[in-house]
Amino acid sequence: MKKVIFVLAVLSLSSLALAEKNVIEIRGGYDLSSRTKFKDGDDSDSKKFVKNGFHLGAEYRREILTNFQIGAGLEYRLSKLDQPSDYSAKGLYYTFSDTYNYGDLTSVPLYITARYNFKNSTEFTPYVKANLGYAINSGKVDGITKYTNFSGVDTDVRDYKRKLKNGMFYGIGTGVEYKNFLVDLSYDITYSKLDTQAYIYDGYYNTTTQENFESKFNTQKLTLSLGYQFNF
């Protein structure tokens, strides 16, 4: 699917650039809301796992029918991850601790786009749009769970190394253009997964084992953007 989207984006840019009625749009915005949904419903299933963030983007579009444009776009999105607080507790025979080290989520969607403008007798032009593409995601979600006895020996250590992987990107939106200035509201869904490597140390037997697993999730965002378009 991602190969098909890439080919369509390249063909759109190469063929449409030779025609008239071209538009280049630049914009930036901030998320009004962000919701994360994990497919597997594991312990990381938090609606606020991906926090509100900002984005910068650019699009190229061409009008192929009256008021109807198609093209391709690229965005840079940055969001904080909801890192739990470090935790420790003392039991009768041991001390338990959880330590977390989360990075930011960086997402770069490459997408094809379609937009319809509702031209009228005023200088205000409402529009609707739809995007379909593939997001290049990166970030880390690390954590360590440790059991230590009163002799200071770590009896059980679980070191989790997680990386965020790429996935599909979808979006719909609406907005208004006035003298080339734009304001729009979009609803976007970005798919990703946590690729986890767990290193488990057993202090009693002095052995370390490794487990690999993944958790799929999507992030749904409502984003307000401001932009400017150049017509040529």
Return the pLDDT at 41.
61
Return the pLDDT at 30.
97
Average pLDDT estimate for 185-209 = 92
71: how many CB neighbours lie within 10 A of its CB? 24
Number of compact structural domains in the chain: 1
Average pLDDT estimate for 82-106 = 86
35: how many CB neighbours lie within 10 A of its CB? 15
Query: At CA 167, angle to CA 162 and CA 170, rounded to 5?
Result: 135
Return the pLDDT at 117.
97
pTM over 0.95: no
Return the pLDDT at 1.
63
Average pLDDT estimate for 208-213 = 91
CATH code at 161? Answer: 2.40.160.20
What dihedral angle (degrees, nearest 10) is formed by the CA atoms of 13, 16, 19, 20? -90
Give the end-to-end CA distance of the chain in Å, rounded to a whole number. 32
Average pLDDT estimate for 95-114 = 93
3-state helix, strand, coil in the chain (%, to 5): 5, 70, 20
Rounded-to-integer distance, Cα 27 and Cα 54, Å: 11
Rounded-to-integer distance, Cα 185 and Cα 98, Å: 39
Domain containing 146 equals: 2-231
Q: Which has more confidence, 184 or 42?
A: 184
Q: Where are any strands of DSSP class E within 82-151?
A: 87-90, 94-102, 105-117, 124-138, 141-149
Handedness of CA 164, 185, 179, 232 (dihedral sign): positive
Rounded-to-integer distance, Cα 225 and Cα 148, Å: 50
The tokens describing 65, both together, are 């029918």
Tell me the average pLDDT of the chain: 88
Quick one: pLDDT band at residue 17, thresholds 50, 70, 90?
A: very low
pLDDT in tens, 58-72: 999 999 999 999 999
